[in-house]
Amino acid sequence: MPYTLRQMASPDPNEFNPLAGLAALVFPGAGHLVLGRTKRAVLVCVGVMGLFLFGLLIGGIDAIDHRNDKVWFYGQILVGVPTLAVDYVHQNHFKAADPNNPAVIRSGYPGEHRVVVDGRPVWQLLTPEQIDQGMGPPNVPGLGRINEIAMLSIVLAGMLNLIVFLDALMPTPEREPRKSGGAA
């Protein structure tokens, strides 16, 4: 039986709620906000976004890359819009075409900088004067274990948000607080 919009936005936080599930996929904690569970929404947002931001802090923007790290990206995308936003910025403002093979879009190497030629970003070798001025690529990809830990942290944030999505989509009834003071 199809749901009406009124049923989907039902204020009862104990029923199947597709709108809350969709909101949980868009941004961590938003599904519980739709359900009216503000405290849980804040805790979810802090937990998931904390792991996400920790990954970005230690690995940089290169920790999210749908072109070079597809398998990792599948787990990272479960965080929602924040992953898409960071990937968009990474692909469009930190990468450029390889000067020897313009079909290859990549991060910069040390000794290169990003220039726009005919409306398309391309990597170009730095001159000695530019090196003295401290120019270089806008980011250098993380290396080794640190980059792996960063990507893993963001994937863990995505997996945690998957659990949160399921909790928002099919919430369990809230428990009644225990009454104290009675004799056993």
Give me the phi and psi of 124, to 5 degrees please. Answer: -135, 140
The SS3 assignment for 115 reads strand
Averaged pLDDT, 133-154: 81
Structure letter (DSSP) for residue 66: T
Question: pTM for this structure?
Answer: 0.79
Q: What CA–CA distance (Å, rounded) separates 64 from 154? A: 8
C-beta of residue 16 within 8 angstroms of C-beta of residue 175: no
* Structure confidence at residue 34 (pLDDT): 92
Is a pLDDT exceeding 60 seen at residue 4? no
* Structure confidence at residue 162 (pLDDT): 96
H/E stretch holding 96 reads strand 96-97
* Structure confidence at residue 132 (pLDDT): 77
Is a pLDDT exceeding 60 seen at residue 83? yes
Q: Among 45-59, 101-115, 157-171, which is the least confidently predicted range?
A: 101-115
Span 150-161, pLDDT tens digits:
999 999 999 999
Residue entry with tokens 């270089």: 136
Percentage of the chain lying above the pLDDT 70 cut: 82
Averaged pLDDT, 3-14: 54
| Domain boundaries of the chain, sorted by first residue | 1-80+158-173, 95-137
* Structure confidence at residue 68 (pLDDT): 87
Q: What CA–CA distance (Å, rounded) separates 184 from 179? A: 12
* Structure confidence at residue 2 (pLDDT): 58
In sequence order, the 6+-apart residues with CB closer than 8 A to the CB of 68 are 106
* Structure confidence at residue 28 (pLDDT): 96
Check the CA dihedral 116-118-124-127 and report its sign: negative
Averaged pLDDT, 74-102: 93
Span 20-70, pLDDT tens digits:
999 999 999 999 999 999 999 999 999 999 999 999 999 999 899 999 899
Average pLDDT, the chain: 85
